[in-house]
Chain A
Amino acid sequence: EDQVTQSPEALRLQEGESSSLNCSYTVSGLRGLFWYRQDPGKGPEFLFTLYSAGEEKEKERLKATLTKKESFLHITAPKPEDSATYLCAVRDNDYKLSFGAGTTVTVRA
């Protein structure tokens, strides 16, 4: 069974204070690692897909990286609007995503 573990559970940052979120995974054959953002009471919003170790993707203040056992989501100089829960998910076949519990990021002005 796929295992996805995210750390830390919660992260409180000052505006401008860069940090990283971790997603470690165990999957029989990785066919994609996905990062989503989820605001309270809303659906997950797609951010990135990573397929192979060494791959990196960037979007505004966010950068996702992938190794054979984990992925990192780096938040550079965060703003209050980056406050959300960030979800990591893996796929080992064509269909199902297996999600981690998420990291809740709070950015204070």
Chain B
Amino acid sequence: EPEVTQTPSHQVTQMGQEVILRCVPISNHLYFYWYRQILGQKVEFLVSFYNNEISEKSEIFDDQFSVERPDGSNFTLKIRSTKLEDSAMYFCASSVLANYEQYFGPGTRLTVT
């Protein structure tokens, strides 16, 4: 069964460093998303991406964040200068069309020290 994959599973970085989180969405899906979940809190929407453009973003997704689809399979989230409060699980998701269910990857645990 096709699934969303994410790498790395765990990333430790120092405050102020740049990180890139990688995702491979399900192959026939056209819509891609990033969410995050701070330990013990709700899953929060960050951004959605379609046709090489951001289609919606939340207030969390400020200028420190960017997304890219560098090739036909990968979808990345970059945090330019990490802060302690960026520590969270980051989930990538994809859907075949906008109004269909979203399938989530296993997540990348980001720890900022």
Given the interface pairs A95-B48, A95-B55, the reply to whether A43 lies near B91 with Cβ below 8 Å is yes
- Contact assessment for B103 and A32 in the assembled complex, using a CB-CB cutoff below 8 Å: no
27 contacts between A and B (CB under 8 A): A31-B99, A32-B99, A32-B101, A34-B101, A34-B102, A41-B89, A41-B109, A43-B4, A43-B104, A43-B105, A43-B107, A44-B104, A45-B104, A49-B100, A93-B56, A94-B55, A94-B98, A95-B45, A95-B55, A95-B56, A97-B35, A97-B45, A99-B43, A99-B44, A100-B42, A101-B41, A102-B42
Residues of B in contact (CB 8 Å), total 26
Interface residue? B75 (CB, 8 A): no
User: Total number of A-B contacts with CB less than 8 angstroms?
Assistant: 57
Residues of A in contact (CB 8 Å), total 24
Given the interface pairs A97-B45, A98-B45, A99-B43, the reply to whether A46 lies near B101 with Cβ below 8 Å is yes
Write the B41-70 contact mask toward A (1 if CB under 8 angstroms, else 0): 111110010000001101000000000000
